Structures are given as C-alpha cells and as structure tokens.
Structure 1
Amino acid sequence: MTTASLPPAEIFQHVRMIMGMVLGLSITRLLTGLVRIIQHPGQNRIYPVHIGWVITMLITLIHFWWWEFWLVDVQKWTFEIYLFLIVYAILLFFLSAFLFPDSISDYTGYEDFFLSRRKWFFAIFGMTVVFDLIDTLIKGQAHYTMFAMEYWFRIPAYLMLCGLAIYTPNRRFHLGFVIFGLMYEGSWILRHFNTLG
C-alpha cells in the first residue's frame, strides 16, 4: 500500500501522532526542569531570561500542536513534507534540551549557562523561524494570506533579533527580547489562532 492509496486525513493522523511523540518529549523536558528548580531552589542560580525562554518554549510547543491541525487541509502528502515536519519538531526538542541540559555543573548558574550557550540556542531558534515560514507555505495560500502583511515583517524581525542575540551577551537586550517575545506571541496567538474554524 502506498500513501497515494490512503485518504489524506489518515496520513495526517499518522504524521500528527509521530510529531506528538517528539513534542511530548520536549514538554516533558521543560516541565521536569521547572520541577527540578522548584524542588532544589538553591542548587543553581535562577536567571529570569532563562525562565522567560522556558515559558516561551512551553507556549510555542502547545501552540505548535494547535496550529499544525491546519495540515488536515494538505491534499497531497509526500515523504519530503513528512520529513520536514519531523525535523521541525526535532528542532523544537533541541531548544527544550538546550534550556534544561542534563547538568550545568560546569557553570555558575543558569545565567552563565544560558549566555555561554546562547549562540546554539538562537541559531536553532532562528532555524525554527525559517521552518515556520515553510510550514505556513505548505498549508497553502489561503492559510498564509490570513496573516496579512504582518507575517512578512514578523519573519525577518525575528531572524534579526536572533542574529543580535547570537552576537551580544548584553543582559538588557536578552531581557528585552524575551519580554517582547512573550508579549508578541501572546498577541499573535489570540489574534490569529483563537479558533481553527
């Protein structure tokens, strides 16, 4: 049996299940890390920017699962689309794992860890921005036109901010970036993804 002989909705359910497993691992990683901080508050120094990105990633992962429902409209599934979506989910897992590695004993706390590993984190974050663009195009013109012109400013703005975050260890910039990201993503979700209808 080939995928061509299966209804697109059945293929979508299969793809969604595989992505769900990867996303589940990502959410588990973040929640376990937060619980570890609560259980052992004196073990490592907390950094508000780090916690801000943990919250951002939790929102992103929950939102990702919601917005991927639009893939139900894809009428022709290929292995390339399937592979792309799995890699997208894996990148989100990498971001979660970067926020809570197995150990930060080589660092003085989460601030030292986050700022020293920021190049990896924001390089992968920037990749997810590009993947978001491709994901939006896969869903068809009707999907991406609903975002109007804002979407075409959003992508380069996030890529520019990620580039600056890779370059600078400035604490104020990183605090401003995560605050802006949380506020903007909240607004974006409420304005464009409140319902799937």
Structure 2
Amino acid sequence: MDPTPTAAEIFPHMRVVMGTVVGLGITRLLMTFAGMIQHPHRNRWSTLHLLWMGSLLLELILFWWWEFALFRLEFWTFGVALFLIGYAITLFLLAALLSPDNIADYDGYEDFFLKRRRWFFSILAGTFVLDTVDTLIKGGRHLERFDWSYFVQVPVGMVLCVLAWRYADRRLHLAIVGIHLLHQFYLTIRFFTFAG
C-alpha cells in the first residue's frame, strides 16, 4: 500500500488549517468591534479604521471561499501547502494590525492605524503578489474565469499601497479604502450569487 495521501485527502486537511488561521483573523476583528460596542468611550473610533476592518473581514471571507477552487488541484507538494498557510497568515497579520491589544499610547484607532500604516500596507502589497501566485497554482481553468480587471488590480493595488505607505493624509487613505471596497464588491457581485 502507498502511504502517500491523495489530493482528495490533502485538500480537506489544508482547508481546515487555512480555515483556522482565517477564523483567528475574523475573531480578532470581531472582538475589536465588540470591544468598541461594549466600551464606546474607551478609545476614539474612526471611520477610516472601521472601513478597513470591514474590508479585511470581507477579504478573509473571500479568501476562504476562493480557496475552495483548490479541490481541483491534482498534485500537492509541501511547498504549495506552506505557501497557502503563509498567505493565510499574512491576512491574519493584517487583522492583528487592525485589532491592537492596547492603544493607550495613541489618540484612538485612526492614530494607531496611520502610525502603523507602513506595516499594514507593506503586508497588503504582499497579498497582491501572493494572490497572483495562488491563482496560478489553481491552474488555467481557474484563471480563465478572470478578465482584464483581475490583472489590473495587482499594479493598481501596489501603487495605492505605496502611496498609503508614504503619506498619512486621511483623505488619501479614505479614497484608497473606498477603492478597495468597491473592487471587493465588484468581485463579489461578478463571481458569486446569493443562490449558489
């Protein structure tokens, strides 16, 4: 008997591991939001911070759903598994940066976010590259689902991350999170229906 697991056996295992990491990110975001509701005057709220929390929550859910396409993957390697777990970890780190344990040294969530923006946008820029590799791993059949807008998102996303990394202007950051949310909604409407 061959002890090597089949692709059909590996996929559910990987889905559980990735789901655990994604679940931790979602939990962090939800706990921060619950803390804001429980103690509304403890820290200053921020529209910018809340929009990024919402955007990242949607990103985590989309990642978890998109990874279902891995069931078609016929050959798994440790490198592919490591890559996918690493990708999930980057999303968790973004959630952790939006859900700090303590912001007593900052003037609210927005001040914390803007002062930690270089970390956030460096990691976010990395996710654009990781998403491209992830799409290539899933193969040609998966790639054929996308049009030009998918291939434009990487360079545009990288440019926006560089701008956000360099400048702390609130209006610029609101515009960037607005663009990011619009793109996420576009993807959701285009690729998913509420019936299936």
TM-score (ref. length: structure 2): 0.95
Residue matched to 2:89:
90
Question: Is the alpha carbon distance of 1:2 and 1:46 closer, same or farther for their aligned partners in structure 2, counting shifts above 3 Å?
Answer: farther
Deviation at 1:153, TM superposition (A): 0.8
Structure 1 counterpart of 2:56, which letter? M
Q: Are 1:45 and 1:109, in contact at CA under 8 Å, matched by a contact in 2?
A: yes
- Which stretches of structure 1, 4 residues or more, deviate above 4 A after TM superposition? none
Structure 2 counterpart of 1:24, which letter? G
Structure 1 counterpart of 2:15, which letter? R
> Does 2:118 align with 1:116?
no
Residue matched to 2:147:
148
Structure 2 distance, partners of 1:9, 1:66, is: 18
SS of 2:58's equivalent in the other structure is helix
SS of 2:142's equivalent in the other structure is helix
Question: Is the alpha carbon distance of 1:190 and 1:94 closer, same or farther for their aligned partners in structure 2, counting shifts above 3 Å?
Answer: same
Structure 1 distance, partners of 2:45, 2:153, is: 30
Structure 1 distance, partners of 2:192, 2:133, is: 18
Structure 1 distance, partners of 2:47, 2:54, is: 10
SS of 2:135's equivalent in the other structure is helix
Equivalent positions of 1:1-197 (< 5 A) are 5-194=4-193
SS of 2:101's equivalent in the other structure is coil
Structure 2 distance, partners of 1:89, 1:186, is: 21
Structure 1 counterpart of 2:93, which letter? F
Structure 2 distance, partners of 1:193, 1:153, is: 20
Deviation at 1:10, TM superposition (A): 1.2
When the two chains are superposed, the root-mean-square deviation of aligned CA atoms in Å is 1.5
Structure 1 distance, partners of 2:2, 2:158, is: 38
* Range that drifts further, 186-195 or 88-97: 186-195
SS of 2:104's equivalent in the other structure is coil
Deviation at 1:6, TM superposition (A): 2.3
Deviation at 1:154, TM superposition (A): 1.0
SS of 2:128's equivalent in the other structure is helix
Q: Across the two proteins, how many residue pairs are aligned to each other?
A: 195
Structure 1 distance, partners of 2:176, 2:191, is: 22
Structure 1 counterpart of 2:39, which letter? H
Deviation at 1:192, TM superposition (A): 2.2
Q: Are 1:136 and 1:144, in contact at CA under 8 Å, matched by a contact in 2?
A: yes
Q: Are 1:53 and 1:178, in contact at CA under 8 Å, matched by a contact in 2?
A: yes
Structure 1 distance, partners of 2:158, 2:191, is: 21
Q: Spell out, residue by residue over 1:168-196, the C-alpha distance to the aligned partner (whole angstroms, 9 max, x if none).
A: 1111110111112112211112102448x
Structure 2 counterpart of 1:125, which letter? L
**5+ long unaligned stretches in structure 1:** none
